[in-house]
């Protein structure tokens, strides 16, 4: 059976469009909360293959999405490089900050594959559990976004520390980015070898940099990752998600080599239809808050997005992830509405 998600990434249009949601597996689902309590810590959930497999499958079994995305986290990469990483209830990720080139030089690729081997085992198991019609998406955080967490040490509102590092010592910061490019290629390659069908690169903090630095620290590292992967897998579908990039979506789409771009909620679809490279598939971009409000307003938003995007290959998704306060029945209504729409 054909995987419509992959058909769209190859440039075909599908009616209705395939659908999956960022953070489709997570705290809004009661079955996730039950398994999370059983697992203990968040990283235990990520690094225990049987748990990661079950969490990945939960939204597929509940909603029948056209793609499953591996349950993991972008911060397993710094964990694998030797940085202290933990997840604190009520705070989120907490890392021992890397604030200088000397501290970055203490990190190493030596333990990456061993630390992350449970992730690849989960991928391998998922390939035997998913139906023939469901694609499996692997992922990683982009080097700039991962570096933001590594340098700031936690979620940041202003990114002053990481920006000061890259502005004041671009050579030293560049060494950290180079290490992350190498680690990200290794991490994504292992996922492909284990059986994922496509990849997504999350650049969640793309929108915080000025244009010259955006080209240096967002576009160029992702370009290196994409082209290195394509040397081995020329037809590998890769989605880029430069959240908050605004008009910089255009050089991102043109220069990184990604197959498709995922659009955040703030991107004008009418603008994107005209500005992005002709024929490039797009993904997105309904506001996750519509899942909190639900009702006819959400229905109209679904209809508008599918209507505007019909001129391109389109994967229906959110402009960011499902909020933890979302009710599962709201997601079901969203899926049902998207699937009843016809051109």
Catalytic choice (28, 32, 36, 66): 36
The backbone region for 312, taken as left when phi is positive above 0, alpha when psi lies in -120 to 50, beta otherwise, is: beta
CA end-to-end distance (rounded Å), the chain: 23
CA proximity to 107, closest of 74, 81, 144, 145: 81
Q: Within 13 Å of residue 75, how many CA atoms lie on the same side as its CB?
A: 19
Tell me if residue 73 is catalytic: yes
| Active-site residue, selected from the candidate residues 7, 13, 14, 27 | 27
36 is catalytic: yes
Q: Which of 73, 79, 197, 264 is catalytic?
A: 73
* Catalytic residue (one of 63, 149, 299, 312): 149
Q: CA–CA separation, 282 vs 150, rounded Å?
A: 30
Burial letters 215-242, b for 16+ CB under 10 A, else e:
bbbbbbbbbbbbebbeeeeeebbbbbbb
Q: Which residues are catalytic?
A: 23, 27, 36, 73, 149
């Amino acid at each position: 059976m054909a995987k419509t998600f992959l058909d769209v990434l190859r440039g075909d249009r599908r009616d209705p469009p395939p659908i999956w949601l960022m953070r489709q597996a997570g705290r809004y689902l009661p079955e996730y909360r039950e398994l999370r309590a059983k697992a203990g810590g968040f990283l235990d959930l990520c690094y225990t293959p049987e748990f990661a497999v079950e969490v990945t499958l939960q939204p597929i079994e509940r909603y029948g999405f056209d793609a499953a995305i591996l349950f993991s986290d972008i911060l397993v990469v710094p964990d694998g490089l030797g940085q202290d990483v933990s997840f604190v209830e009520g705070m989120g990720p907490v890392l021992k900050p890397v604030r200088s080139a000397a501290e970055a030089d203490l990190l190493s690729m030596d333990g990456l594959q061993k630390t992350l081997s449970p992730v690849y085992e989960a991928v391998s198991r998922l390939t035997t559990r998913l139906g023939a019609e469901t694609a499996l998406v692997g992922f990683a955080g982009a080097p700039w976004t991962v570096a933001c967490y590594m340098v700031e040490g936690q979620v940041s509102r202003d990114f002053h520390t990481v920006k000061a590092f890259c502005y004041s010592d671009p050579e030293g910061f560049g060494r950290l980015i180079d290490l992350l490019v190498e680690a990200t290629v290794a991490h994504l390659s292992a996922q492909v070898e284990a059986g994922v069908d496509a990849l997504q690169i999350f650049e969640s903090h793309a929108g915080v940099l000025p244009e010259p630095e955006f080209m240096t620290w967002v576009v160029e590292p992702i370009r290196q990752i994409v082209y290195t992967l394509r040397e081995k897998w020329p037809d590998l579908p890769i989605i880029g998600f430069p959240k908050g990039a605004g008009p910089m979506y255009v050089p991102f789409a043109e220069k990184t080599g990604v197959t498709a771009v995922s659009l955040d909620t703030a991107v004008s679809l009418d603008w994107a239809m005209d500005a992005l490279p002709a024929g490039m598939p797009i993904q997105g971009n309904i506001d996750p808050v519509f899942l909190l409000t639900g009702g006819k307003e959400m229905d109209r938003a679904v209809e508008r997005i599918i209507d505007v995007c019909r001129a391109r290959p389109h994967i229906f998704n959110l402009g960011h992830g499902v909020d933890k306060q979302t009710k599962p029945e709201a997601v079901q209504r969203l899926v049902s509405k998207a699937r009843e729409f016809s051109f």
